A and B are shown apart, each in its own frame.
Chain A
Amino acid sequence: MQTIYLDNNATTRTDPDVLAEMLPYLADLYGNPSSMHTFGGQLHKKIEEARAKLADLLKADPSEIIFTSCGTESDNTAIMNALETHPRKRHIITTRVEHPAVLNFSQHLGRKGYRITYLPVNDAGRLDMEMLTRSLDDDTALVTIMFANNETGVVFPIDEIAGLLEGRGILFHTDAVQAVGKLPIDLNTLKVDMLSLSGHKLHAPKGIGALYVRRGGRFYPYIIGGHQEMSRRAGTENVASIIGLGKAAALARGFLTEEAAAVSRLRDRLEAGLLGSCPDVRINGDTKNRLPNTTNISFEYVEGEAILLRLNEYQICASSGSACTSGSLEPSHVLRAMGVPYTAVHGSIRFSLSRFTTGEEIDRVLQVMPGIIRELRQLSPFGRGSLTL
């Protein structure tokens, strides 16, 4: 039985072309790019090529790209940069639905005495723009708002927010980990100061990320040590993965023009099929402003972990916002912020597709899912007729 991988917002398959580009640098070409000798020093050029490819995907200047180890490091670096370069300001604005890389770091700073505003979202996951406007003041150092939500795929109006902040002396960072490679991003016109991305969400390997920092502003490094990355991020470069990310960025450019629409059609087919074949189902989030590859569906009266483990029997991989899968005992903070009823939060399943997803795989999910839901509902004391809430 073949694995049907529909959990691409968690991580993606390393594209075989990406891997092929990387392999020499994990084997014979093991030099250190900082070395004086050709053996190591020649790698510096390869890193700059990769930087140019990534800059190309974002319509940025290569000098604006800093390679990091992951999305979380990029996010932490961006937030600390804002605070270090604006030491008198002690206010940060973010949202309730951020990834833990921003949310937990903000809470950490809150405990350190910073003032944090967490913007709410409505039942479709749309941001409260009015509250954003009201929350801005002279003490605000940073607004950090994700580009697209990892759980629901809902895309925030980053362009509009950037417009709102322009000329106010407030830095704007966006965690675009889920958006880069799935949505076209043009940093020539999109006026964000910092943008985080992660390699393994766009078919590069894990352990590589990047932070875009707009030219002209000050920058304070988060990891301090050697002169790498123009002294903006110390530590010997992850050469093979940087080269891999460069290749992945080049491939993503092709994907954005050709295949994004095809992925979106598969996602819509999956969604429509599930809505048609399973009763008491709801789609979570604004379906008009959404990543092309993501759907978040709640199956009422059944619990998400149970659904995932039944799917696992068919080697179908997805994820859930239920409490039992979160590692804590609380269900998804994103769905709760949207006011999704608990009954639906516990039974929420996220399917996230990629350019490797096939129509046959979607058919297979549509074939097994109704049976799984029916069986689990037969087990459940809740549901039609026996609802005892």
Chain B
Amino acid sequence: MWEYTDKVKEAFLKPQNVGEIPDADAVGEVGSIVCGDALKLFLKIDKASGKITDAKFQTFGCASAIASSSALTELVKDKTLDEALEISNIDIADYLGGLPDQKMHCSVMGREALEAAIAQYRGQPVRQKEEGRLVCKCFDVTGEKIRKVAVENHLTTVDEITNFTKAGGGCGECRPDIEAILSDLWSVSRVHETPAGPRKLTNLQKIALIQEIIETQVRPSLQADNGDIELIDIEGDKVIVALRGMCTGCLMSDVTIKGIQAKLRELVSAAITVETR
């Protein structure tokens, strides 16, 4: 069960500003029924003052999606469009006394609906999905959105990105891509903090790491070709293995061993050598 604050519960059970504005000046629509949540935001805007005089919403989604929508409509009222655009997803979450980590994407959806509505009103092109490269195919999330949300909310891990955008929360195939986006995004500021270079490992850590790499990265691909590998021993930087199954006597076995050596040199230490028994 989610730990919702009393404010979230209240906004869910008695949401404010529910419904449509038939003669709305701006409409912002985000999400889809397939993804599990969708929000349609209606704004009434006074042309003279540029202020939002009324806001209503329709939301398909869980308690926090409905509560975030209610909070959003409360927050934007009586604000000019520029003031409204200052409202971040964090402001929406704060208004509700916070959201569970895994539900932060609900506040992001609110912010997106607001952007979409104001862009429509101003006649700006509504940002198309195709504009950025699609990273998460399960939830239709582009790299551009991941970068934007990461910067706005100071997100550094893939799990945080999933909580805020849902990206990576489906099949999980794009998690390495998200990782790459994050390291790309934050590397500039990090280079100065920690010097690059392989971490110094103790012998035990090194043995464990080599075992893990062989078990998770080498073995499955050999087994896919009906081969197999056994780790015999590790003496200092010398890794001794035995090839099994179809690998035994395979003409390509030297190449296989070189490949394993390259992988271990990259991931463990440049001094590693791999030999067969």
Contact = CB atoms under 8 A, between A and B. Distances in A.
* A and B: interacting chains: yes
B60 A329 contact: no
B62 interface: yes
Nearest to A387: B33
B89 interface: no
Interface string A365-384: 00000000000001111100
A113 B169 contact: no
Interface residues of B, number: 35
Interface string A275-299: 0000000000000000000000000
A313 B9 CA distance: 10
A50 B216 CA distance: 43
Interface string B33-56: 110111110000000000000000
Nearest to A383: B60
B111 interface: no
Contact of A306 (B32, B63, B228): B63
A14 interface: no
Interface in A172-223: none
Interface string B59-75: 11111011000000000
A272 B142 CA distance: 44
Given A303-B37, A329-B139, A389-B33, A379 B58 contact: yes
Interface stretch (B10-18, B181-189, B253-261): B10-18
A303 B61 contact: yes
Given A303-B37, A346-B33, A309 B60 contact: no
Interface residues of A, number: 30
Interface in B126-140: 138-139
A382 B33 contact: yes
Contacts of A156: none
Interface stretch (A15-23, A62-70, A231-239, A320-328): A320-328
Nearest to B34: A342
Most chain A Cβ neighbours within 10 Å, of B9, B29, B58, B166: B58
A138 to B, nearest CB: 15
A381 B40 contact: yes
9 contacts: A303-B62, A324-B65, A329-B139, A329-B170, A342-B36, A381-B40, A381-B59, A382-B60, A386-B58
